[in-house]
């Protein structure tokens, strides 16, 4: 067993009951246990980390090869070994101009050419120089994709609502026909553009939705349907085979993983909604975080500190989940986006070499925006028997200066929650509150026990000035690198996703059975359910 792991476990035994609040007897606690880059602040002082523990976590990162593996990834090494691919989504947002090779080829010229094409197309749609076949400007854009071809652009388009200045953007992902049906009901086929986004251009949900969209178009505009289609894919020949005009297919390389793909052509809806200029600001934010991640010492490195906090909580403290709690309504899809980024990357059970993991890998990631979550699941965060490390996000300023009262309330609530989780309320304090309570059908002592909060529940807070395209880029790159560092420490390949295959294969074999074929070879439950669902 690695020495740092052993030391961390010893630390845990020693500090498990230490109140986090007691660490603030050091007046410098906040300064020492927060870090900032490019206006983004990470406060991890409301955790039970102290300097000695943090140094051992940093030693763990170094022993695990985080700096070398980070540098190798940025250099274009085949960090995704099981798929034999480089991992170079960072190149899509890089401002470097020097050659960068993947598979023996400099990738920079292709990235620039692809972005230039994207920009021409997006600006053409936005300004009306590219129109629908009938000559009318496109009023609506529907992105048809799923997973990484949906969650990133969907999350970002919602996050950047104050910057929208183009056609309305819609997203259809689910195999459930309800989604495309409800979406189409809102639209005029004569002014709607569909972007079929699929890295592989084989994903069954996307292909099914795309066929439905084409049928809908054909019924309305007949032979002009192709003029309402564009595609984003790393399999351009398949997109062309589907009937998409060659100049409407936006390709990207296989060294961009699906869940890391919103920085390139998969981000087309973001560019159409907000414009090329804003998209460049978004890329600049991601690039700023890359530069920080590559250059900052580990002790000041935001993604590394976030990852180490995560390792401490999941592996050493044994907390099985973590909650992402944006106090920023426009980040309402961030938790879903991070679920794919984190759980598809690090939900693994063998090392890169195929050996069974000796420790837990990625925790369950979940969450909802505050303050809504406060009125739903925060009860469990405060008084449940499980400890859930919380990750708060909050802006100093909103995009609605005329609604300052709202934003002040939002900030107060965000800070109140992290304070309440840490501070808790003692039984003694609860007894005072319970004194004189006449209504309860239980004793005052019983009531006081219900009103006690154990506290000592950790959280981190990310604070930024305002949710701009630049900040959004920083945030996403920050989380990408956090996931990367954790994956390196666990010794896993964070860039493949074999775990999604089995369900896809079985769905393929079940489809004919759903349509009436005999359910040979299936278990009793599946047979019973097939019978119940027939019709």
Residue 364's beta-bridge partner residues?
A: 321
Among residues 49, 66, 146, 323, which is the contact residue for ligand F6P, using CB under 6 A? Answer: 146
Q: Is 344 a catalytic residue?
A: yes
Using the contact rule CB under 6 A, the part of the chain among 37-45, 145-153, 354-362, 386-394 near ligand F6P is: 145-153
The answer to whether residue 80 forms part of the interface with ligand F6P (CB under 6 A) is no
Q: Which of residues 191-210 bind ligand F6P (CB under 6 A)?
A: 198-200, 203, 206
Range in contact with ligand F6P (rule: CB under 6 A) among 106-114, 147-155, 414-422, 432-440:
147-155
Least distance in angstroms from the C-beta of 340 to ligand F6P: 7
Whose structure tokens read 């023996």?
A: 104
The smaller minimum CB distance to ligand F6P, of residues 143 and 417, is found at: 143
The answer to whether residue 313 forms part of the interface with ligand F6P (CB under 6 A) is: no
Based on the shown chain and the rule CB under 6 A, indicate whether residue 459 belongs to the binding site for ligand F6P: no
- 371 near ligand F6P, judged by CB under 6 A: no
Residue of 76, 167, 258, 310 that binds ligand F6P (CB under 6 A)? 258
Task: Kindly write down the DSSP assignment for every residue of 234-279, as one continuous string.
Answer: S-HHHHHHTT--GGGEEE--TTS-GGGGGGTGGGHHHHHHH-HHHH
Say if residues 209 and 180 touch (Cβ distance below 8 Å): yes
**Helix and strand tally (H, E) in the chain?**
21, 13
Question: Judged by CB, which is closer to ligand F6P: 80, or 203?
Answer: 203
Q: Cβ closer to ligand F6P: 148 or 469?
A: 148
List the structure tokens of 252.
């990207």
Which segment (62-70, 90-98, 141-149, 294-302) binds ligand F6P by CB under 6 A? 141-149
Residue 476: which residues within 8 A CB-CB, separation 6 or more? 152, 156, 262, 286, 337
362 binds ligand F6P (CB under 6 A): no
Applying CB under 6 A, the site for ligand F6P has a residue count of 14
Hunting for tokens 């900052």 — which residue is that?
Answer: 296
Segment contacting ligand F6P (CB under 6 A): 2-10, 143-151, 244-252, 280-288? 143-151
Report the C-alpha gap between 400 and 423 in whole angstroms: 32
Closer to ligand F6P by CB, 56 or 344: give it: 344
- What binding mask, one character per residue, do residues 158-197 give for ligand F6P by CB under 6 A, x or -? ----------------------------------------
d(CA 355, CA 13): 28
Asked if 51 and 32 touch (Cβ cutoff 8 Å), the reply is yes
Is residue 470 within 8 Å of 283, Cβ to Cβ?
Answer: no
CB neighbour burial string for 359-382, b if at least 16 within 10 angstroms, e if fewer: eebbbebbbbbbbebbeebbeebb
Q: Would you say 37 or 203 has its CB closer to ligand F6P?
A: 203
* 3-state percent breakdown (helix, strand, coil) of the chain, nearest 5: 55, 15, 30
* Bond prior to 371 in cis (omega within 30° of 0): yes
Instruction: Kindly tell me which residue out of 76, 148, 285, 367 binds ligand F6P, with binding defined by CB under 6 A.
Output: 148
Closest separation in Å from C-beta 203 to ligand F6P: 3
Q: Does 374 bind ligand F6P (CB under 6 A)?
A: no
Shortest Å, Cβ 319 to ligand F6P? 26
Q: Which of 61, 91, 147, 493 binds ligand F6P (CB under 6 A)?
A: 147
Please say which residue, 61 or 195, places its beta carbon nearer to ligand F6P.
195
The nearest distance, CB 270 to ligand F6P, in angstroms, is 16
User: How near is the Cβ of 39 to ligand F6P at its closest, in Å?
Assistant: 30
What is the Cα–Cα distance from 114 to 82, expressed in whole angstroms?
27
What is the β-pairing status of strands 459-464 and 105-106? unpaired
Q: If binding is defined by CB under 6 A, does position 143 make contact with ligand F6P?
A: no
| Least Cβ distance, residue 507 to ligand F6P (angstroms) | 11
504 is catalytic: yes
Q: Is 164 a catalytic residue?
A: no
Contact track, ligand F6P, 479-508, x by CB under 6 A:
------------------x--x--------
Cβ(93)–Cβ(476) below 8 Å: no
Nearer to ligand F6P, 148 or 487 (CB): 148
Q: Are 3 and 10 in contact (CB under 8 A)?
A: no
Spacing of C-alpha 420 from chain mean position: 26
Taking the alpha carbons at both ends of the chain, their separation in whole angstroms is 56
Using the minimum distance from each CB to ligand F6P, give the nearer residue, 101 or 500: 500
DSSP lists the bridge partners of residue 390 as 323, 459
> What would the two tokens of residue 235 be?
């399999």
Of 205, 344, 480, 486, catalytic: 344
Q: How many whole angstroms separate alpha carbon 101 and alpha carbon 19?
A: 50
User: From the candidates 375, 438, 501, 505, which is the catalytic residue?
Assistant: 375
- Active-site residue (options: 10, 112, 432, 504): 504
Find the shortest distance in angstroms from Cβ 149 to ligand F6P. 4
In the bound state with ligand F6P, the residue whose beta carbon lies nearer, of 437 and 507, is 507
Residue of 83, 34, 6 lying closest to 496 (CA atoms): 83
On the CB side of 306, CA atoms within 13 Å amount to 30
Residue 131 in 3-state DSSP? strand
> SS3 for 196?
strand
Nearer to ligand F6P among residue 118 and residue 434 (C-beta): 118
CA 449 and chain centroid, separation: 38
Which residues sit at the interface with ligand F6P, rule CB under 6 A?
146-149, 198-200, 203, 206, 258-259, 344, 497, 500
Which residues participate in catalysis according to the annotation?
Answer: 344, 375, 504
């Amino acid at each position: 067993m690695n020495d740092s792991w052993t030391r961390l476990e010893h630390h845990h035994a020693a500090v498990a009951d230490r109140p986090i609040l007691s660490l603030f007897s050091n007046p410098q606690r906040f300064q020492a246990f927060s870090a900032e880059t490019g206006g983004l602040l990470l406060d991890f002082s409301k955790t039970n980390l102290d300097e000695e523990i943090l140094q051992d976590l940093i030693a763990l990162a170094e022993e695990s090869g985080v700096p070398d593996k980070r540098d190798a990834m940025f250099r274009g090494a085949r960090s995704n070994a099981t798929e034999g691919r480089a991992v170079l989504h960072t190149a899509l947002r890089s401002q470097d101009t020097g050659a960068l090779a993947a598979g023996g080829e400099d990738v920079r010229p292709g990235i620039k050419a692809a972005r230039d094409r994207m920009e021409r197309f997006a600006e053409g749609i936005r300004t009306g120089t590219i129109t629908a076949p009938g000559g009318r400007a496109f009023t609506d854009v529907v992105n048809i994709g799923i997973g990484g071809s949906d969650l990133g652009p969907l999350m970002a388009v919602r996050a950047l609502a104050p910057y929208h200045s183009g056609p309305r953007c819609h997203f259809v992902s689910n195999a459930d026909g309800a989604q495309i049906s409800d979406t189409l009901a809102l639209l005029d086929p004569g002014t709607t553009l569909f972007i079929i986004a699929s890295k592989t251009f084989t994903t069954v949900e996307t292909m099914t939705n795309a066929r439905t969209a084409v049928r809908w178009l054909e019924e309305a505009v007949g032979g002009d349907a192709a003029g309402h289609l564009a595609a984003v894919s790393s399999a351009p020949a398949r997109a062309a085979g589907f009937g998409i005009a060659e100049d409407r297919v936006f390709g990207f390389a296989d060294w961009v993983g699906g869940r890391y793909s919103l920085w390139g052509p998969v981000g087309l809806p973001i560019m159409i909604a907000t414009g090329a200029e804003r998209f460049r600001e978004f890329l600049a934010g991601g690039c700023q975080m890359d530069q920080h991640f590559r250059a900052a010492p580990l002790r000041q490195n935001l993604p590394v500190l976030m990852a180490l906090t995560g390792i401490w909580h999941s592996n050493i403290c044994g907390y099985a989940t973590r909650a992402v709690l944006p106090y920023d309504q426009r980040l309402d899809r961030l938790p879903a986006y991070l679920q794919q980024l984190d759980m598809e990357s690090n939900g693994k059970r063998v090392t890169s070499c195929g050996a069974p993991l000796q420790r837990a890998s990625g925790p369950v990631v979940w969450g909802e925006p505050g303050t809504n979550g406060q009125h739903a699941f925060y009860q469990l965060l405060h008084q449940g028997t499980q400890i859930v490390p919380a990750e708060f996000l909050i802006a100093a300023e909103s995009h609605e200066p005329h609604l300052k009262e709202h934003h002040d309330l939002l900030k107060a609530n965000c800070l109140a929650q992290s304070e309440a989780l840490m501070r808790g309320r003692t039984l003694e304090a609860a007894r005072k509150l319970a004194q004189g309570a006449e209504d309860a059908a239980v004793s005052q002592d019983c009531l006081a026990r219900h009103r006690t909060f154990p506290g000592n529940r950790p959280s981190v807070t990310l604070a930024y000035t305002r949710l701009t395209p630049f900040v959004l880029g920083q945030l996403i790159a920050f989380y990408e690198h956090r996931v990367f560092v954790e994956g390196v420490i666990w010794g896993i390949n964070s860039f493949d996703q074999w775990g999604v295959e089995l369900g896809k294969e079985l769905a393929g074999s079940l489809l004919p059975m759903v349509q009436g074929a005999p359910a040979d070879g299936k278990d009793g439950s599946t047979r019973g359910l097939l019978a119940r669902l027939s019709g």
